[in-house]
Structure formats: structure tokens, C-alpha cells
């Protein structure tokens, strides 16, 4: 679907603002949003995840979102959640993450950190494995690789 100009502006500004605030590469954020919702702010998954970054209801409550479908609120929460997962696997060096660390963070975003811990890496769930591969592929393209 084509976004309205205001939606496009809100999403663009939000991605850039929250990426800078949380020190997360905006290309990674965009890659994740493409995989999660293909930039459809009204997207809802069959599991109840909402908006651009597919924020779950408990996460929306945690981030005090009054409207999880609002692009600004949703991107803010999504980038915050992604950053928390990146920190979880950063081994104390959040400025220089390895591909493995980013991979684990993405798997945790999708399947939860408990599943990543249980399996010692990306869980053997088809959805999560495809999700991680898709984001890393898009991210590589956006980085010019």
C-alpha cells in the first residue's frame, strides 16, 4: 500500500530520531520493519502483534503506548525493544556488534530471549530462521554489500 505523505514523514523522522537516540543503525531498523510489517502501520499479526515493528500487547503496555498503531509510538517502542535485545548479546561492547550478536538479538526479538537461551542460538523455528535471514539479507543490501 502507498503511504500518505504525513505517514511517510512520521515514519522517516521516527526511524531516524529513535535510531539516533538508541544508537541503532537506522538501516537495521528499516530492515526489521520491512520484515515485520512491510511498512504497513495498521498491520496486525495472527498472534496480536501490532504496527510497524509488530509490538506485542504486553510490550505496548510496558512502553506505555496509548496507540500501538501510531507510527511514532510504535517505532519508538520497536527501536527500544531492538536495542534491549542488542544489549543483551553485546557482551559489553555495544558499539561494535558481530553478525552473530545481531543475529541473536533479531532471533530474540522474534522468538523471545528464552527461546534463544534454550537452544543456544537461533531457535529451530522455521519462522524465526526465515525472519533472521530476511532481515540480514535486507540489511546487507541497505549497507551496499
Distance CA(141)–CA(69), nearest Å, equals 27
Q: Which of 7, 36, 59, 127 is catalytic?
A: 36
Q: Is 36 tagged catalytic?
A: yes
Is residue 94 very low, low, confident or very high in pLDDT (cuts 50, 70, 90)? confident
Q: pTM of the prediction?
A: 0.95
Q: What is the pLDDT of residue 96?
A: 82
Q: What is the mean pLDDT of the chain?
A: 96
What pLDDT does 92 receive?
79
Does 42 score more than 80 pLDDT? Answer: yes
pLDDT band at 100 (very low <50, low <70, confident <90, very high): very high
Amino acid at each position: 500500500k502507498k503511504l500518505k505523505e504525513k505517514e511517510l514523514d512520521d515514519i522517516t523522522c521516527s526511524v531516524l530520531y529513535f535510531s539516533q537516540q538508541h544508537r541503532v543503525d537506522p538501516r537495521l531498523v528499516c530492515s526489521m520493519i520491512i520484515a515485520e510489517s512491510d511498512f504497513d502501520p495498521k498491520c496486525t499479526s495472527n498472534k496480536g502483534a501490532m504496527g510497524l515493528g509488530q509490538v506485542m500487547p504486553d510490550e505496548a503496555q510496558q512502553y506505555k503506548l496509548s496507540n500501538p498503531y501510531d507510527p511514532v509510538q510504535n517505532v519508538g517502542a520497536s527501536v527500544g525493544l531492538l536495542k534491549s535485545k542488542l544489549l543483551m548479546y553485546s557482551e559489553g561492547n555495544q558499539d561494535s556488534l558481530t553478525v552473530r550478536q545481531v543475529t541473536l538479538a533479531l532471533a530474540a526479538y522474534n522468538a523471545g530471549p528464552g527461546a534463544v537461551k534454550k537452544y543456544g542460538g537461533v531457535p529451530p523455528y522455521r519462522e524465526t530462521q526465515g525472519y533472521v535471514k530476511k532481515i540480514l539479507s535486507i540489511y546487507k543490501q541497505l549497507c551496499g554489500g
